[in-house]
Structure 1
């Protein structure tokens, strides 16, 4: 499943390969409140298709109209929210302002560049783009000065793109349903793992990807790199422990398990008996989530996703500084 930046870049690649012109809009600066963070993308094709988002919809409409009227022929900056009229027209919150870099792309000049970026993201490798206002782009090594992956000095954008964070949720239970919904809204890519027939067949949410495979096999193949998280939510040691044993020997940035403190200590003891050392067990977040404290499935899911967001922020900040 492709989402987020990888999805936007793949859309651009497909449109360029079909001979369409494309405009890539990147948020490079914000002031005050902003509906989307710095680094967010919107790509628009000359036939009016679009991918990504830079606002709640008001700026997208204006950008679609601009590109429908031919659009810029070189990279330019566009500011929104400068005047009171802007704020009224585009409904930017609390006096917020957004600056966008808009890049025109054509297959003859830019398709190889886009293909390299798309390939890196699909292979889950960080890659850094450098774009100058007025024209010119290239790919460079990671820039340690890029705050949150993006640096802009008014003329040159240096944008470090990092792989999206994948989550594997083990167990088709009510908490997993809420975690999947909230985490997807927070731009994690989510898959549910449920090898048990009764639970898998009773799952009523077809929009959430479901795998019937064993969790250790999935982790070994697709969820073991540093951009992955594994959450054991089944409340069944036969399933949870299998996944945790594999995850704790992987590079996954987040590994958590649902249960009380007593249940968590019993789980650690079982995993130690299976050969995991103290360093591996120290990576396990159990009980999972921040202490709000939570009781209902939705509350538990909120505490889990809040902890995931904080861990992802730390991961991205650490990688951007390398």
Structure 2
């Protein structure tokens, strides 16, 4: 959290004092704090410490995990004095892991992990998977073409299912993104048709401006509306002069990160 100094103090506080109820630890409020804990000038860190006990906390944590596994946002509401905690499943939050303390009640918002489906096994997909995973996305890679699957040397396992089926089954909620990277209309278009009709927060396709224009015309002829096509990020990624697979992947993941925060910011507050 801080490079070491806060961690040592936090551990000593928790081990020696063994708190029985939740508490907020404020560092950097005074000049002494800043000097003792080597915080940057004007910096402040507020940490929430919550002791968990098997007999009291297990059912609460299991219900929390079950809600997130079911792809539902959830808010934890903790009474700081009594340590009583409740869950509000389906609560919409403005940002992941948001903490708000008001009148002795702490509200902790959690949203499901953002899933990404990468369609098409290749060098760009390899780098996108690595960079996106490092940025906190849950990544899956689909490759229905046997020739490409046979030549795949990446560590990440491939899913051989048809991409449109995968989108409908697992990647159609607002916490999902679908990236068409196959360079094959027979594969990419299947994924895009399903994704653009879903709630996925990001739908993108790799290709040049000319290729992207032809793709839009093709998808329109297959029944997609103008509003659905407007959701398509194509050419995919932020507009930088990227040429190598790694550079293209950086442009894509940068756009994904922005789209994720835009999506979270569009959700209503508690």
TM class by smaller structure: 0.7 to 0.9
Q: Which residue of 2 aligns with 1:269?
A: 217
8 A contact 2:94–2:265 mirrored in 1: no
Aligned pairs for 1:21-32 (under 5 A) are none
Give the secondary structure class of the aligned counterpart of 1:104: coil
Partner of 1:99: 46
Q: TM-score if structure 2 supplies the norm length?
A: 0.87
Matches within 5 A, 1:25-174: 54=1, 63=10, 66-69=13-16, 71-81=18-28, 82-87=33-38, 96-134=43-81, 135-140=83-88, 149-153=98-102, 155-174=104-123
Secondary structure of the residue that 2:87 maps to in structure 1?
strand
The answer for unaligned runs of 5 or more in structure 2 is none
Shift of 1:232: 0.4
Partners of 2:11 and 2:158 in 1: CA distance: 35
Q: Give the structure 2 partner of residue 245 of structure 1.
A: 193
Match of 1:302, SS? helix
**Deviation by residue 1:284-306 (Cα, 9 ceiling, x = unmatched):** 11101111232221121111111
Q: Name the TM-score, length of structure 1 as normaliser.
A: 0.74
SS of 1:255's equivalent?
Answer: strand
Relative to structure 1, the CA distance from residue 199 to residue 57 in structure 2 (aligned partners, 3 Å threshold; closer, same or farther) is: farther
Match in the other structure for 1:4: none
- Gapped runs of 5+ residues in structure 1? 1-53
CA distance in 2, matches of 1:144, 1:181: 29
177 and 115 in structure 1: CA distance in 2 versus 1, 3 angstrom threshold? same
Equivalenced residue count is 264
In structure 2, how many angstroms separate the alpha carbons of the residues matched to 1:147 and 1:256?
23
**Post-superposition offset of 1:59:** 5.1
Structure 1: which 4+ aligned runs deviate by more than 6 Å? 141-148
